[in-house]
Amino acid sequence: MSKLNILMVMADQLAPHFTGAYGHRLVKTPAMDALAERGVRFDAAYCNFPLCAPSRFSLMSGRLPSAIGAWDNAAEFPAAIPTLAHYLDLAGYRTVLAGKMHFIGPDQHHGFAERLNTEIYPSDFAWTPDWDNPGARIHKWYHNMDSLSEAGQALATYQMDYDEEVGFAAVRKLYDFARDGDHRPFFLVVGFIHPHDPYAARPEWWDLYDHDAIDLPEPVDLDSLDPHSLRIRRGIQADSVGYTEEQCRNARHGYYANTSYIDGWLGRMVRVLEETGELDNTVVIATSDHGDMLGERGLWFKMSFFERSLRVPLIMAGPGVADAAVANACSLVDLAPTLLDIAADGGNRVEPVAPLAGRSLWESATGGRDPVDEAVAEYTAEMTSHPMFMIRRGRYKYIHCDADPALLYDLGADPCERANLADDPVHAEVAAGFAAEVAERWDSNAIRDQVLASQRTRRLLHAAAGNASRVSWDYSPAQDAANQYVRDHMDWAEAGARSRFPEPS
């Protein structure tokens, strides 16, 4: 039995709540819808850190961020940590990365044999937070209300440039898999930047939506917000610069349009799989690194453990995958053992050298029952000065930070997380149980010491790099122009036939 190909398509900052595949009444996601109709949709999938780089490091390694030092968007991802790409390479796969994975450090491959594009964001220590000055406003590199005031239509942006390059490279690589004579299975990860803010969309995607029909967030009593939400509002200038209702509508309109844009690329890649005869031999996975609050609870972007920030879409379709929806909580660290199970079909199982934090979802994806209903997450980046932890089990979500009051929500009765039950006498036993579990799982003081030491070191190194000849870690894709297309050492007729799919009869 031949091994299945794996195509993983990752959006950036896409909350499942804002997709048609998960029931939004306006957002058009026909490719995700079609994937869900013939596959499995996980209805309570979470990231393990509501920020880009740490979330992706967790996904790639199958380990929690605190276990690998993934503290923030400028924490190095060490080359010595095995990733999915390493494991699948050993299982006989061709491993290729197209687009964003937000790798920080000099290793910009982490097991991928091929990388088709550079990163969109810096790969050095530039974006290191400063817990020594936790109240200081981040200016140069952080979100603010410009993302709302500038939301609207655009013909070109750096994000559009990037995703067009990524989508083109991924589509061409899918054709290459079919025409280059290498019959090994492939593991192709495609990372787009949209619908990440700023919320600017091309007219053809913007015009899919009636502007006046764009839904707005539910009103929220700002005086009732928890301390971390207030810190986020202050950090992104929502409480000082603020935003208007029309800016909010523009931002959500742009986000919906760009969600449809990314869905279009997903649909195109699925069509190429069908054209090349690989659709029935490929597991297709659609997901994201975290969500976006989009104004809900008075918040924007991510960085919190609330549902629209922490939840991600997770849809899987392919041979043997059931047509189902799975209600159990799961998270991105579960993808590593899941993909190892997929790769083990046909033999040559590769065992991880370090214990993985997650569980395989392959049993539930193929119609079985998952006895586990749990996800955990961490946060050690900007807008806080102490580590934050989250446990989602069954209907309950518990949030802990040494500097803040505990939060406990019953998501079954209160999906919008309005009522904090941490001090409710009726839920005292539940809250105490979660508190004890947090203390057992995490040493908050030790983690804080590690974060502070890492931040201080990285800030020093970044400052020193600015005083010398800078050596860039940003990946620069190699272009072998001397052997592209048709060159004078090639037979014109042979080159044409070799690059054509299907081959001429």
> How many angstroms separate the CA atoms of 471 and 270, rounded?
39
Give Cα separations from 357 to 68, 239, 503 (angstroms): 11, 38, 45
Catalytic residue among 17, 47, 86, 102: 102
Active-site annotation holds for 248: no
Cα dihedral 208, 268, 198, 48 in deg (nearest 10): 120
> How many angstroms separate the CA atoms of 402 and 415, rounded?
25
Name which of 288, 209, 221, 220 is nearest 249 in CA terms.
209
Sheet containing 407-410: order of strands: 374-379, 388-393, 396-401, 407-410
Q: Report residue 442 as tokens.
A: 């995490």
> How many angstroms separate the CA atoms of 32 and 42, rounded?
12
3: which DSSP letter?
P
For 128-151, the DSSP string reads ---TTSTTSPP-TTS--THHHHT-
Name which of 58, 74, 174, 159 is nearest 116 in CA terms.
174
Catalytic residue among 17, 47, 52, 386: 52
Cβ proximity of 63 and 356 under 8 Å: yes
Active-site annotation holds for 52: yes
Sign of the torsion formed by the C-alpha atoms of 41, 44, 50 and 53:
negative
Name which of 352, 376, 362 is nearest 83 in CA terms.
352
Cβ-in-10-Å burial (0-12, 13-18, 19+) of 498 comes to middle
Q: How many CA atoms lie within 13 A of 313 on its CB side?
A: 31
Cβ-in-10-Å burial (0-12, 13-18, 19+) of 109 comes to middle
Q: Report residue 82 as tokens.
A: 């095995």
Q: What amino acid is encoded at 64 in this protein?
A: L
Place of tokens 């015009």: 207
Q: Report residue 148 as tokens.
A: 């709302």
List for the chain the helix, strand, coil content (%; round to 5): 35, 15, 45
Place of tokens 């209160």: 414
Residues assigned a catalytic role? 52, 102
